[in-house]
Amino acid sequence: HCFDKRLRIFFLHSVYIINLFISFELQFRLGPTLQGKHVLVHTNYPAPGKHFDRHTFQALDWHNPMGREDDSDKFCTLDLQIAGSYQYYFGHGHEEKSGGGYIVVDPVLRAGADNHHVHLDCITIQTYLSKCLGHLDDWPARLRVAKESGYNMIHFTPLQTLGISRSCYSLADQLSLNPEFSPPGKNYTWTEVGELVQKLKKEWNMICITDVVYNHTAANSPWIKEHPECGYNLVNSPHLRSAWVLDRAIWHMTCNMADAKYAAMGLPAQVQNEGHLNVSAIRNVLWEQVFPKVKLWEFFQVKIESTVEEFRTLLTEGAKPDQKKTGGKQGLKIIQDPKFRRFGNKVDMDSALETFVPHSRSPQAILEACNWLWGRLEEINKEQYQQMLHHQEQAANCIVGNVVYERLADHGPKLGPVTRKDPIVTRYFTFPFEEKSLEDDLPMMDQPDKARHFLAHNGWVMGDDPLRNFAEPGSNVYIRRELICWGDSVKLRYGNKPEDCPYLWAHMQKYTEITAKHFAGVRLDNCHSTPLHVAEHMLSAARAIRPNLYVIAELFTGSELIDNVFVNRLGITSLVREAMSAGDSHEEGRLVYRYGGEPVGAFVQPSLRPLVPSIAHAMFLDVTHDNECPIQLRSAYDSLPSSAIVSMACCCSGSTRGYDEMVPHQISVVKEERFYPKWNPEAKASSPGEVNLKTGIIAGKLALNKMHQELASKGFNQVYVDQVDEDIVAVTRHCPSTHQSVVAVCRTAFHNPKHHQYRTEVPPMFIPGKIEEVILEARIIDRQAGTYKKCEKYINGMPEYTVEIKEHIQLKDSGVVKHAGVTSKGSSEFVQEIIFERLTPGSVIAFRVSLDPKAQELVGVIRHHLIQFSPKYKPGSLPDQHTPTILETPLAQIMSKLTLGDMNMLLFRCDSEEQEDGGGCYNIPSWTSFKYGGLQGLLSVMADIRPKNDLGHPVCDNLREGDWMIDYVSNRLVCHSGALGEVGKWLKAMFHYLKHIPRYLIPCYFDAILVGAYTTALDTTFNKMSSFVQNGSTFVKLLALGSVQMGGVGSFPALPPLSLELPDIPYRLNKDTGKKEQCCVSLAAGLPHFSSGIFRSWGRDTFIALRGLMLVTGRHLEARNIILAFAGTLRHGLIPNLLGEGICARFNCRDAVWWWLQCIQDYCTLVPEGIAILRCPVVRMYPHDDSEPQSLLTQPLCDVIHEAMTRHMQGIDFRERNAGPKIDMHMKDEGFNIVAKVHRDTGFVYGGNRFNCGTWMDKMGESDKARNKGMPATPRDGSAVEIVGLSKSAVRWLVELHKKGLFPHSSMKIHRDGKEVKVSYEEWNHKILANFEKNFYVSHDEKDPNEKHPDLVHKRGIYKDSHGASSPWCDYQLRPNFCIAMVVAPELFTVERAWKALGMAEKKLLGPLGMKTLDPDDMVYCGVYDNALDNDNYNVARGFNYHQGPEWLWPIGYFLRAKLYFAKKLGKETYEQTVYLVKSILSQHYVHLERSSWKGLPELTNENGQYCPFSCESQAWSISTVLEVLHDI
């Protein structure tokens, strides 16, 4: 199942690690901070037909399948076909590398004559110490034990010639096969080894791997003597000289102890107890006999006399410091002697001359300066002396600790007396010369021909940084004696590149290539202390020979982050994990859960999905060859259950040879010289040189290994671990397609049952489903075969134990289970209670469990019906024998009949909308309610739950506990007629099956059904929209969804009735009256606050949003209906602010009518034959200003438009009906007076007063405490810039229409000065054009004659927010409104001036998501909106600053559209730069939209994009104007 094409998406924004399989496609996509930038991605993954070279990078090509409007779908791709570790990096602008990381592609392993694929989780590995296999001819008989025990991989310790210590990991020659493998008269080579490996692979289906050891070689390696530069010696690493001196001194201390020379000091050679050790005695010898002799501090000190004399000479000669070196700063600098000689450190004389300056050149002054330097050098030498004392203290501690462990500790080797063979501590350096006295030794370090052979041994340092090389300069490990030293090995010194040590790199590369030629994989020995760059180089060489190289390693870094560094740079496939690290059964079970698999009942993940961080793939071993013996640490009886727990892990599992045979001691990689027993099915228990299925737990391990491989190969990738009691662990492996499970119940025996009192009663287990069989039941039992006696020739185990095992039996035949009964069998439950009889410590029982037949059938049927959404549901599917009629039709076909208004009900509708129908959004007690009643409400939550498989989430709990949520989803729709009801019936039919499957599976399948329905609904939705949406990016589609979110039909019609003469008006039957009524879609202003009742529809909001949400998305009919419905409410020449179905309308805004006119213009422009709307009939609700609501008069839209224009030219001046607290409890009386006129000279529409607010910035003060009640925060009276722009757009358009014969009116008849006069549209148009910049542009010229209030100017090169305000300073406030005028009437603006003004807006007003509504330099600016705050601050109380700083989203659309328009005028380069800027800005909106549970963009944010709790979570005009930007691009 590894070879299906699966896609993973990685978002570029930071350093990251990527782990994938061959055949996966990896897509790199731009993270939000990179969208809109020229980003280049480079990788060293080889181009097709090329060989891999770690240092050769290629740039990947970008693809943007959905066009150019944004970067949300832009990607570059890698088709991963070659295993290994690959690097990538990305950069933009002048930064070549802004970030990067590694891609690890796991290898494909194959075995058998058919070369079948072995999945990594199928691996069961057994480690062999190669030196214990004997002659190569005997290997098959000894390795057959692994085959017969069910293993499919063998790990050999190194097969090379061993060093003098005989350690498996101390190699004398990395290139030659160990001669011990050749019997007398034969000389086997790597060829014969390779042939055996191939035989095991083809005939036994076994894969072989071996170790590579890179960081040391045996101390007696012949080649290291010829090439001592390959190690750390005193010539190439003189920083080790002092450590070597100490090492020699400690060696001579060993000799003196061995010769009883310290007996008088209480320190005999035989250290037998704490008294003999006499810690103070050993320390006394060190501090009195050793440290004083060697004077290690001298290697780091300055020779004062000669240094001061040199300084004196310089002063006498009048020398001055080199200022380039000192920078004029005082402070004495000491230069470390690169040769590390005694008193070899030097003083930087420039720093001395800068620091110790004589007050004159007199001899006395020079003497004083020299004395001053002398004193400072004495201080420095003393500091070095003290530092060395600290090092010596640590060295003494380490030496004493070593002696305690090696000679006294019960868990140590108890070496006995100190001798030259067993020194007090292991030597840190080789000494290949005749032993003499210390005094004779020390001069040798100054003789290069000898010093080059003093090579540092390797080892490990407890708690050290694994990424630091402890032998390099800067480390004090050797002098502090902190190295736990391997005295048989020499640490290798590679340098930074092959040129630094050519012989070593070439030698080790050849070693690597030999290994890769013959073995399928390698184990990186001591990986954590192998230099990363060396391992990278060597593994690249190995993969050049064997691309599918399997790489494992043990890492002792103590940090998962550092582990990942190794895993990703080296391409490690599996990290070795030890069950022996668990101190009890609970921890052992936790490791199983940790190291692989999904939880049981996990959600189905999409094939194309983002990458998420994960831990490295595990190779989980019951024991490694480095572990202490489990039988000694735990008990013999624990061998089987702990091994079973490990085998149930969803990852590689394995063991070390000897564990299964129950060898009761650690098999030492250094000291073990015996051979492994051979396989003989007929062997007797008492035969130490042969083993078979009756030996130890081999029979049990065979069954466990077979089960482990079956579970992995058949997709049992879900895991549940249950800690039944303190000793019993039950591990479940579950297959998500067939829903079969295997449950292994393991009773551990960490303590020997013969000496430990275990509980006699075992808790019963409750297993959901039907137990098909007992796969195996086994336990360790005693047998009469004699007691263990260590064999001299063979590595023998304990004959007194064997395994009693039964396999594939029925439950009734079990000897472990006493009783099994069905405890509950409801409509969706089938649970079997298991009561145990003989689950003794050391026992294991594994059940194969299926769903009960009915549930199995229902799950299969559900999967069958889900295939229409994805073929991944085919496995485990069953045809439906009794398919309900509704399920015979594909859901896509049913949904194709839905209108986009229906989609609003299916997908969205917030709580207040649902309440209009008498319902509400689904609420989970003790948690919260969903944001929507429709599918989006659930899917938004599931989008967080699904990737994390958060089955403990309250939503999942609710689904498992009852059918309430399931019924809510279908019942909400079933009650509707038509296609919406059909969708409800389809869901209800699917849910009928769902309710009768086990409850633990319901979250998974409920989600699968909803995801299928949701994605089908989205596909249907977009197919009903414009080609711009259909062919658009993900971002475009998400924004277009806002059209469905905001556009719906409530229980009560929001729009007044349309003319019956119009075609295609939607109708429905009124639920209460049964009569036919119009049901046109209306636009909600924002969710959740402006979505229902009279507060749903607002004139201004509707027509700011209509172009983006209805016209751009192709919803032309709904747009027509909304335009005509509002046209019918025209009164006083205005359309309503708050619509209130027309009956409760308020005509208190000056701008809504101009937004309405702009939308009619846009309709005519964007809709095919849209000009026909001008002839559409409009039912006038108010034929006269004082009419009661009616529907008698009908007139064409063009006449309604003309009336609105004429009324403005005549001058609108009225008082709102019902003025007073009944319609506005905050407004002062003067605020109810509405004025909107056209200035005779300028043509500017003007109006309002300081007591009302007729534009979108309409906050009315509400606080008595702050005394702002009844005062508008932003009256914007006079001529608001956007109204001037909108009116200019409308007038220009009507002039053009009339010229084309499409608008019947060329002028307006008005009464002026008692006479009827005509004012032409052309004249009006010209006046605005001629006067706009004269009155709105704030010039850089301080003497501009057009400037009426130069004293109020505080920003130049901008456009005023208004003209003629009652408070003149308000005109000069920098706000984003001029951008609107730029978009709708760009002809008003000079290109260069417009561009600079937009630059100022960008600098001062642009926020992450929105535009600041006021210049932050303004004295009343406040960017945080808090409508609940009521204090005495006039400017902020009760949200008075609503439009005085908070960052509103919708103006950003006009700002960006204006930028794009004028950038195009300035040339290609400016335009392209602007497009990238726009994409970069909008990437933030994309991220917000994706992550928002509302799937919308908010009304506003607080300053710098901070969340504002008082904002609508999703606002129609916010979504609309951003969509318009993408449409413009």
> Residue 272 above 90 pLDDT?
no
1028-1047 per-residue burial string, b: 16 or more CB within 10 A, e: under 16: bbeebbebbbbbbbbbbbbb
> Which pLDDT does position 471 carry in this prediction?
95
Distances (CA, A) of 514 to 177, 190, 491: 10, 8, 22
Q: Mapping DSSP to helix (H, G, I), strand (E, B) and coil, where does residue 134 land?
A: coil
CA 1004 to chain centre: 23
Average pLDDT over residues 769-791: 94
Average pLDDT over residues 1329-1340: 97
**Cα maximum dimension of the chain:** 134
> Which pLDDT does position 1 carry in this prediction?
23
Please state, in angstroms and rounded to a whole number, the distance separating the CA atoms of residues 6 and 678. Answer: 45
Average pLDDT over residues 970-993: 96
> Which pLDDT does position 563 carry in this prediction?
86
The 3 state secondary structure assigned to 1449-1483 is CHHHHHHHHHHHHHHHHCCHHHHHHHHHHHHHHHH
385-392 long-range CB contacts below 8 Å, 24 or more apart? 385/297, 385/301, 387/297, 387/300, 388/296, 388/297, 388/300, 389/297, 391/296, 391/476, 391/479, 391/480, 392/286, 392/287, 392/291, 392/296
Strand partners of residue 128: 156
Please state, in angstroms and rounded to a whole number, the distance separating the CA atoms of residues 716 and 704. Answer: 15
32 pLDDT band, cuts 50/70/90, is confident
Strand partners of residue 27: 9, 77
CB-neighbour burial class of residue 59 (10 A; exposed 0-12, middle 13-18, buried 19+): exposed
Within 13 Å, how many C-alpha atoms sit on residue 730's CB side?
21
> Which pLDDT does position 149 carry in this prediction?
98
> Which pLDDT does position 101 carry in this prediction?
87
Contact at 8 Å (CB) between 1161 and 1205?
no
Average pLDDT over residues 614-628: 90
Percentage of the chain surpassing pLDDT 90?
85
> Which pLDDT does position 1351 carry in this prediction?
94
Residue with the bigger pLDDT between 918 and 986: it is 986
Task: Summarize pLDDT for 88-117 with one digit per residue, the tens.
Answer: 999 988 888 888 888 899 999 999 999 999
> Residue 17 above 60 pLDDT?
no
> Residue 6 above 90 pLDDT?
no
Please state, in angstroms and rounded to a whole number, the distance separating the CA atoms of residues 1281 and 412. Answer: 88
Mean pLDDT of the chain: 94
1425: left (phi over 0), alpha (psi -120 to 50) or beta: beta
Task: Summarize pLDDT for 156-198 with one digit per residue, the tens.
Answer: 999 999 999 999 999 999 999 999 999 999 999 999 999 999 9
Residue appearing with tokens 């933030």: 1484
> Residue 773 above 90 pLDDT?
yes
H-only helix segments in 456-605: 502-518, 532-545, 560-570, 585-594
**Active-site residue set:** 525, 528, 626
274 pLDDT band, cuts 50/70/90, is low
830 pLDDT band, cuts 50/70/90, is confident
> Which pLDDT does position 25 carry in this prediction?
86
> Which pLDDT does position 5 carry in this prediction?
44
Contact at 8 Å (CB) between 1443 and 1413?
yes
Please state, in angstroms and rounded to a whole number, the distance separating the CA atoms of residues 300 and 305. Answer: 16
Task: Summarize pLDDT for 1447-1502 with one digit per residue, the tens.
Answer: 999 999 999 999 999 999 999 999 999 998 999 999 999 999 999 999 999 999 99
> Which pLDDT does position 19 carry in this prediction?
66
Q: Cβ atoms within 10 A of the Cβ of 15, count? A: 10
Contact at 8 Å (CB) between 776 and 761?
no
Contact at 8 Å (CB) between 519 and 542?
no
The closest of 517, 543, 541, 534 to 105, measured between CA atoms, is 543
346-347/334-335 β-pairing: antiparallel
> Which pLDDT does position 559 carry in this prediction?
79
Percentage of the chain surpassing pLDDT 70?
97
> Residue 16 above 80 pLDDT?
no
Length of the chain as a residue count: 1529
The closest of 697, 690, 691 to 660, measured between CA atoms, is 697
To the nearest 10 degrees (0 to 180), the angle between helices 1197-1210 and 1152-1166 is 140
Where is average pLDDT lowest: 643-652, 826-835, 1118-1127, 1335-1344? 826-835
Q: Mapping DSSP to helix (H, G, I), strand (E, B) and coil, where does residue 358 land?
A: coil
812: its two tokens: 């009734």
Distances (CA, A) of 832 to 762, 771, 851: 16, 8, 11
1274: its two tokens: 């932003």
> Which pLDDT does position 71 carry in this prediction?
84
Task: Summarize pLDDT for 1140-1194 with one digit per residue, the tens.
Answer: 887 889 999 999 999 999 999 999 999 999 999 999 999 999 999 999 999 889 9
Residue appearing with tokens 């609904």: 1017
Contact at 8 Å (CB) between 1381 and 1151?
no
529 pLDDT band, cuts 50/70/90, is confident
543: its two tokens: 């993969």
Contact at 8 Å (CB) between 1505 and 1511?
no
The closest of 1070, 895, 904, 1067 to 984, measured between CA atoms, is 895
Please state, in angstroms and rounded to a whole number, the distance separating the CA atoms of residues 143 and 657. Answer: 10
> Residue 277 above 60 pLDDT?
no
> Which pLDDT does position 1499 carry in this prediction?
98
Average pLDDT over residues 573-589: 93
652-656/124-128 β-pairing: parallel
Where is average pLDDT lowest: 84-88, 117-121, 221-225, 1440-1444? 84-88
CB-neighbour burial class of residue 783 (10 A; exposed 0-12, middle 13-18, buried 19+): middle
527: its two tokens: 């990986």
1121 pLDDT band, cuts 50/70/90, is very high
Give residues with Cβ within 8 angstroms of 320, minimum separation 6. 353
Task: Summarize pLDDT for 1095-1106 with one digit per residue, the tens.
Answer: 999 999 999 999
> Which pLDDT does position 914 carry in this prediction?
96
Distances (CA, A) of 648 to 155, 629, 694: 21, 22, 23
Q: Cβ atoms within 10 A of the Cβ of 1310, count? A: 17
Average pLDDT over residues 1279-1296: 98
Where is average pLDDT lowest: 407-421, 926-940, 1072-1086, 1170-1184? 407-421
1358-1359/1337-1338 β-pairing: antiparallel
